[in-house]
Structure 1
Amino acid sequence: MKQHLNTLFVTTQDTWLSKEGECVVLSLEGEKLGKIPLHTLQSIACFGHVACSQYLLERCAQLGITVTWFTEYGRFMAAMQGPTTGNVLLRRAQYRLADSPEASARLARFFLIGKIGNCRTVLQRQARATGEPALAAAVETLGGILRGLLHEQDIAVLRGLEGDAAHRYFEVFPLLIKEEIRHDMPFCGRSRRPPRDEMNCLLSFFYALLAQDVRSALEGVGLDPAVGYLHRERPGRPSLALDMMEEFRPYLADRLALTLVNRQQIRSSDFIRTEVGGVQLKDKARKEMLVAWQERKREEVEHPFLRERMSVGMLCHMQARLLARHVRGDLDAYPPFAIR
């Protein structure tokens, strides 16, 4: 168990949560793991096989403490709330911000600062390791785009800057792949629906997993995943999830794909080419990618804003809570997730 932002996260399987006085008690196989006063909590997030007593749920409902259940891997399942909830107020605030061009641009800028800053860091690390001039030049370009983001208020201009940054990033992306592997798994620019090469197939696969994780985190805090700021509403499109996942793409999806390819844990033989010219993962490789994704999420890192240790899988839940605090007006600005 870990407590962040007045939320108790319970990830140990088979944990039993019960009420003792005005505290929640966590037990495993009859042994107490800890006790936390209920008045210090705003919510409890249960991952996987975690059970709660009826008396605890009743008291949480009375105190306005939200209890949310996710699968072990972070997919949202359900939430329990008492008769009085702030979610309707949170969503109304979210919708009002989405209706304001200025507020939408401000939030879009936060997401893009996180994304482009993380892309720059990924390139910068490789540039230092290899001394590759093209990577150093791309780092400089992304730095200039970041400076241009700081005071830009027009959402269309922000999207244009994001497009320029993405083009420059993926232009030098092949240099992040080991030279001896590039011929076997060439990368000729970002392509989607269908992905035209093996690396694009890997990226699209991990981006889909990331989008699901971020969407679950947003639903868990009561935000509407369909109403975004950088990505505008479209039927069936989780626009806010697409907004927030931008800052995680380089850190989670891109780095994991590169690690698997450079270590040759995944090879060109793990893919098949379709009749329409696209590339797909073979079933066995897909299962291996799912295992790699879950193992990555179990690793521990320090959150750059909160300065607290947590699993990688918790990061999107932390960011969703920070975004909710900003939308409610409790935080002056949304702090994007930025690696160092």
Structure 2
Amino acid sequence: MQLVLNTHGLSLKVKDGLFRVSHEDEVRDISPEQLSSISVTSPCLLSSAAIRLAAESEVPIYFFDRFGDADACLRSPYFESLATLRRKQVYFSDSKAGTAWVIRQFGLKTAGQLENLKYLANRRRKREEELHAAIKWIDDRLKVLQHEHDGPPTDAWSASIMGWEGNTARIYWGEVGQAVPEAWQFSGRSRRPALDAYNALTNYFYGMLYATVERALFNAGLDPHLGVLHADEYDRPTLAYDLIEPFRPWVDRFILEQLFVQKLLADVVEPKDAGFWLNSTAKRTLIPAFNEWMRTPRRWEGRQMSRDAHIFRHAAGLARLIDLIEKRPV
């Protein structure tokens, strides 16, 4: 379970070996064994005892900025990526295998986006023709991606992949933005800040997904800062950026289901500081719903397991692939 501290002035302390979360008259005790991570999204008080208990229990504490990005993390000092595996990560990022892995990542992401567009086509008959046209266009582009490059990564290849992804995203988000209920419609992706209610939801839950992806990488013994496609972004968790791609459409689907099935109203988001932000009341409802949704089994890549477990399995598969690298590519 991911514990999210999203109430201004809330405190996290320790009582009898348990985390004690308190705010005004409300008190809740939680066993560290129940937690996979702690996310801090509002100014809170964390005692040194709580930080120590989290470290001893191998529960990382993530601090998110108001845009939904993780900008700091506290964790146990005992994690050490094995020198051999870390060296192989560097080799992998320069290898033909690394190129193939990135292309497959975007292939999986695009397949998820196509599923979402088909979901919308079944629910928005007035835009069925436009949605099916977008599905065909993206599906045709996916076939091109699969033959994009068969050598090691190059600057030209990276630019080509990013351009391909940008064009696909433009079509995808253009259709999603017009197919959602009227109160939620938008004209493209926006971050830092979100310029509409839909993007506010997307940014927030992408941030929660990021925390799961980074935990999965650490669990697999990989260094999140040694990426392939995003390798040139200094001091950023670039491998986490690479690994998260296939799972972004899962968050998109969660949001779409909230809009179409749960009939979520746009008043869960409020305008502030020239942007739109998820309000505290909505967080208390939507965060548990998202955590439960991530624990719900689904079939993916031939396996039936929870969404969380799929992400951890995907990271472990990457670690096995990297471990096959014997030497630096020439």
TM over 0.5: yes
For structure 2, which runs of at least 5 residues remain unmatched after alignment? 2-30, 35-56, 63-72, 150-156, 326-330
State the shift of 1:87 in Å. Answer: 2.6
What's the counterpart of residue 49 of structure 1?
A: 33
State the shift of 1:246 in Å. Answer: 0.7
CA distance in 2, matches of 1:265, 1:126: 15
Task: Look up the equivalent residue of 1:270 and give its one-letter code.
Answer: V
What's the counterpart of residue 176 of structure 2?
A: 173
State the shift of 1:238 in Å. Answer: 1.2
What's the counterpart of residue 324 of structure 1?
A: 319
User: What count of residue pairs does the alignment treat as equivalent?
Assistant: 256
What's the counterpart of residue 278 of structure 2?
A: 281
CA distance in 2, matches of 1:125, 1:262: 10
State the shift of 1:265 in Å. Answer: 5.0
1:266 aligns with 2:264: yes
What's the counterpart of residue 145 of structure 2?
A: 149
Shift of the 273–236 alpha-carbon distance from structure 1 to 2, 3 Å rule, reads farther
- What are the Cα deviations for residues 277-317 of structure 1, in whole angstroms up to 9, with x where unaligned? 20011111122221111110121223424x3x322221110
Kept in 2, the 8 Å contact 1:135–1:172? The answer is yes
Shift of the 258–299 alpha-carbon distance from structure 1 to 2, 3 Å rule, reads same
Task: Look up the equivalent residue of 2:109 and give its one-letter code.
Answer: K
CA distance in 2, matches of 1:97, 1:127: 39
Shift of the 72–318 alpha-carbon distance from structure 1 to 2, 3 Å rule, reads farther
1:113 aligns with 2:107: yes
User: Moved runs in structure 1, 4+ residues, more than 6 A?
Assistant: none
Give the match's secondary structure for 1:152.
Answer: coil
Task: Look up the equivalent residue of 1:127 and give its one-letter code.
Answer: A
Matches within 5 A, 1:1-340: 48-49=32-33, 69-70=58-59, 77-78=75-76, 87-100=82-95, 102-128=96-122, 130=124, 132-153=128-149, 154-177=157-180, 181-182=181-182, 184-251=183-250, 253-264=251-262, 266-275=264-273, 277-305=274-302, 307=303, 309-329=304-324
CA distance in 1, matches of 2:162, 2:145: 10
TM-score, normalised by the number of residues in structure 1? 0.68
CA distance in 2, matches of 1:294, 1:72: 16
Give the match's secondary structure for 2:184.
Answer: coil
Percent identity over paired residues:
29
Q: Which has the higher relative contact order, 1 or 2, with Cα contacts under 8 A spaced 6 or more apart?
A: 2
CA distance in 2, matches of 1:236, 1:164: 27
For structure 1, which runs of at least 5 residues remain unmatched after alignment? 1-10, 12-46, 51-67, 331-340
Q: Which moved more, 1:207-216 or 1:231-240?
A: 231-240
Give the match's secondary structure for 2:298.
Answer: strand
CA distance in 1, matches of 2:321, 2:76: 24
State the shift of 1:244 in Å. Answer: 1.1
